[in-house]
Amino acid sequence: MEGRVATAAVERLAGLVREAGSTVALTGAGISVPSGIPDFRSPGTGLWEKVDPMAVAHIDVFRREPERFWRFYGDRFSSLRDCQPNGAHRALVELEERGLLDGVITQNIDMLHRRAGTRELVEVHGSIAESRCLDCGARYPLEEARARLERDGGVPECDCGRSLKPDVVLFGELLPEAAMERATTLAAGADLLLCVGSSLEVYPVAGLPGLTLRAGGRIALVTQGPTPYDADAAVKLDGDVEHELQALVAAL
């Protein structure tokens, strides 16, 4: 791990990690920005500044107009094809390998935590790793879904003839029950919840830091821009997420 100069805030965070019996990370889109994946809400660059999510990424749009949905999501598939984990993902893997991190809860669907090597991973919004048929239940791995996307004229089809849906949570859908139960258990049991690259505005995931606080734990923020939990955080780091997490690992 590349060494980084530790600021006072990084040293404070390192102390919190050392003291914690259980540390859990909660990650959002900001952790993947250094990998070349835009986040959703940053002014001027956020994905939802360019498109209306309700017009392209809602379950009703998928059911009613799969062509419109896949014009948007096909571009997402292409943009994520060559993206690789960055130093922030790898820093969390190193913390896990050193026994300092009990798990990662992520809002991201980009598979980068998997590719980095995180073992205890909860993908609360699903993952592009598979696509599935909502009618017959058949599942297809990512590369097969991509091949069918190119073969079938812009809408990948199941063998039964119905449109495939990426196995991610769209607007208008509930989060997977098992994933949320696991995330809730991890957050409630954490002495320290390390929130990385998330605005903490999208519920129900945004409620997890409150769960940690009510259970007597602490929260630490590593994210740029304000969050609803800034006043409750034991420490906040607002620099480059890669540099901050690499500095944390170096300080431990």
**Other CB atoms within 10 Å distance of the CB of residue 99:** 8
Catalytic residue among 58, 89, 113, 125: 125
What's the confidence (pLDDT) of residue 57? 80
How many domains does the chain divide into? 2
Question: pTM of the prediction?
Answer: 0.90
Instruction: Tell me the backbone φ, ψ of residue 198, rounded to 5 degrees.
Output: -130, 140
For the CA atoms of the chain, what is the radius of gyration? 19
Is 89 known to be catalytic? no
**215 and 94 housed in the same domain:** yes
Tens digits of per-residue pLDDT, 90-129?
A: 999 999 999 999 999 999 999 999 999 999 999 999 999 9
Are 107 and 179 members of one domain? Answer: yes
Backbone φ/ψ region at 163: left (φ over 0), alpha (ψ -120 to 50), beta: beta
Same domain, 135 and 16: no
Token pair in block for residue 162: 């119905």
CATH number for the domain spanning 195: value is 3.40.50.1220
Instruction: Compute the C-alpha angle 151/68/43, nearest 5°.
Output: 120
Q: Tokens standing for 75?
A: 């571009």
In sign, the C-alpha dihedral spanning 79, 57, 224, 175 is: negative
Query: Do 78 and 145 sit in the same domain of this protein?
Result: yes
Q: Quick one: which H or E segment has residue 178?
A: helix 177-189
Q: What is the pLDDT of residues 57-96, one digit of tens each?
A: 889 999 999 998 998 888 777 777 778 999 999 999 999 9
Percentage, residues of the chain above pLDDT 70: 91
Judged against a pLDDT cut of 80, whether residue 144 lies above it is answered with yes
Please name the residue that has the structure tokens 């997977």: 176
120 and 222 both lie in a single domain: yes
What is the C-alpha to C-alpha distance for residues 166 and 183, in angstroms, rounded to an integer?
A: 22
